[in-house]
Amino acid sequence: MKNNYLEPFFLLFLVSVLCFSCAHVEAPTGGPKDVKPPVVLECEPPNYSTNFSADKIVIHFDEFVNLVNANQQVIISPSFKEMPEFILRKKNLLIRFQEKPKENTTYNIFMGDAIADVNENNVLRNYHYVFSTGSYLDSMIIKGNVVDAYTLKPDKDMFVMLYDKYADTLPFKTRPSYLTKTDDKGNFVLYNLKPNKYKIFALKDMNSNFLYDQTSEQIAFLDTLINAETNYVQDIHILTKNDSIKLDSLRKIKSVDTINLIPKYIEKNIIHHLFFYKEQDSILKLINAKTLEKGCFQLILNSPAKNILLTPLNFNPSKDWIIEDKNKTNDTIKYWLPDFAPDSLIAKVSVGNKVLDTIRLSMKNVFTSKKNENKMNKFFYKLNVKNKENLGYFKDFVLTSTRPVASYDFSKITMTIKKDTSIIKIINPEVFVLDSLKKTFAIKYKWNDDYSYKLFIPPSTFKDVFGFANDTIQVAFKISPAESYGNIKLKVTLPEVVDSPLLLLMTDDKGTVLQSVSLSQNHIAELKNITPGNYRFKLVFDVNGNGKWDEGNYLKKIQPEKIVNYPELLNVRANWDSDLEWKIEIK
């Protein structure tokens, strides 16, 4: 007799197991993430072909690829007037020429970072396709390095441009004969060149037209012609024992299957060093004009200017109708109208006999609300020490007004000097005016770090040009001990005598210049009373002797002034004297 009564339970169990199994089915992970770039399987015609006569190139990859920013990434040297057409078909890239390549010419199609796979966007970096319409491939190269002239740091993707003509106007009007980009170390290589002399120029091209046509573009250049002499194919052939490289009697490539360029070889043999900078616009321009508050407006120029003349066109000004307030670099100027603030200002801006522009400013609708306007109806100032903080032992107490000051009464100012809780004395400190606009005031005093100080400035001690007076100002402070600072004595040793003055710049870790010292004849600089912290040094070869670093001038063939960076970050400690020698090798 069968146990039929068990069958329903067995079926229920079987269904449960199947459901459980189905519920825990997981999709396959697909293995490790693909991190490999696309691989070129074949090219038609083959890469490094000679006697090239095709109207298109087909590059076959091992996977589907994308073409990213081809207009910016793909560089063809020598360049075509009309860029070839790039077409993706499955795993193939078709390059179709819009114009016929020149006869007996070697072309290098540099793909940059344009080729990437579809799935993971892995980039095939710096792929080259090279061909010649003649019987051989030109095999010379020019290699070098491009860095910022001031920071000495490289900048990736600077265009390096080569010309086989030599006029100074070339970068302004003519696209280069050969072109490449710098890598993340600032290195560059221009391949497959004719053995010729070239003019070289580097450009941070802001509008991708391969012309130096914007003053905001950074440039670098060599002021002499350079030779393409290094035969990299012969050198790589020797280094790699690559028998697939065949050379003719002139050491030019006759045929080649593959060339495995060695990055370390390129880096070890850097020849040309270029330093980029942003050139000052030779034509003075007014960039911006705006009202800051009622009775005050600002002009911003593209370069420094000493003698700016303002001529009002909508009213007749008095003789001293305006106060001019320039910044340190003379390219930003505030103007204060203390006695007369018109509702609008129309004025001609000139330098000498040349009119730069005509400005039209509303002088009354500056504030969005009455509340914001009321905030401006007061005397604005700042102090170089806050309440209950320490003032540097070697520093003066400084008050700086935002606006020029029209009047002051220093006799109202008192300073209480204490030791612990006992008052030593109460004095009227001597106050000095530090600038012609009467914006900056200093108390110079022989401080004692055993004492504490309290400065009291009663209301209406200062009045600015708009008649706003200060409220009560009280600040209590102590003095940092003299021992809380460090000193540096730095001797600079050069391999040869230099004609130009030397300027030592001390900067913080972010590059802000804190001190500038002209070196003595024995090239020794002494920097005293330095706040503890980390600092860097730059040595400027101050060719024109104006006490600052200057950029270059392309048309005048003036290079930016040479800078050498101290190789280490220097830590200054309290109550510590550092005696250093800096031996410089000039490249």
- pLDDT one-digit tens code per residue, 436-460: 999 999 999 999 999 999 999 999 9
* Other Cβ atoms within 10 Å of 415 Cβ, number: 17
40-278 and 375-483: same fold?
Answer: yes
Q: pLDDT class for 268, splitting at 50, 70, 90?
A: low
Report whether 358 contacts 347 (CB < 8 A).
yes
Helix or strand (DSSP H, E) at 233: helix 232-240
Q: What is the pLDDT of residues 431-441, one digit of tens each?
A: 999 999 999 99
**Euclidean distance between CA atoms 111 and 324, whole angstroms:** 54
Question: Which uninterrupted H or E stretch holds 539?
Answer: strand 533-541
Any idea where the domains of the chain sit in the sequence? Answer: 40-278, 300-366, 375-483, 485-583
Closest CA to 182 of 145, 216, 138, 214: 145
Query: What's the pLDDT score for residue 294?
Result: 86
Helices (H), 241-312: 263-268
Distances (CA, A) of 577 to 34, 138, 450, 480: 56, 60, 23, 18
Tell me the pLDDT band of 212, cut-offs 50, 70 and 90: very high
pLDDT higher than 80, residue 63: yes
Pick one of 2.60.40.1180, 2.60.40.1220, 3.40.50.300, 1.20.1560.10 as the CATH number of 40-278.
2.60.40.1220
Q: What single letter denotes the amino acid at residue 367?
A: F
CATH class of the domain defined by 375-483: mainly beta
Q: Tell me: pLDDT of 10 over 60.
A: no
Most distant CA pair in the chain, distance: 129
Q: Show Cβ contacts of residue 8 under 8 Å, excluding neighbours closer than 6 positions.
A: none
pTM above 0.85, yes or no: no
Does CATH place domain 485-583 in 2.60.40.10? yes
pLDDT, mean over the chain: 86
Within 10 A of 61 (CB to CB), how many other CB atoms are there? 20
Nearest of 546, 552, 553, 551 to residue 503 by alpha carbon: 546
Given a contact cutoff of 8 angstroms between Cβ atoms, the answer to whether 394 and 530 are in contact is no
Q: What is the DSSP letter of 161?
A: E
Q: Is 71 helix (H, G, I), strand (E, B) or coil?
A: helix
- pLDDT tens figures, 36-58: 899 999 999 999 899 999 999 99
Q: In this predicted model, which residue has the larger pLDDT, 488 or 229?
A: 488
pLDDT greater at residue 237 or residue 570: 570
**How far apart are the C-alpha atoms of 226 and 222, rounded to whole Å?**
8
| Res 203: pLDDT | 96
Element (H, E) at 12: helix 7-23
**Of 165, 272, 280, 155, which Cα lies nearest the Cα of 205?**
155
Other Cβ atoms closer than 10 A to 284: 16
- The C-alpha atoms of residue 113 and residue 94 are separated, in whole angstroms, by 17
| Residue 33 confidence class, pLDDT cut points 50, 70, 90 | confident
- Average pLDDT (338-351) is 88
Q: What is the pLDDT of residues 81-136, one digit of tens each?
A: 888 999 999 899 999 999 999 999 999 998 888 999 998 899 998 788 999 999 98
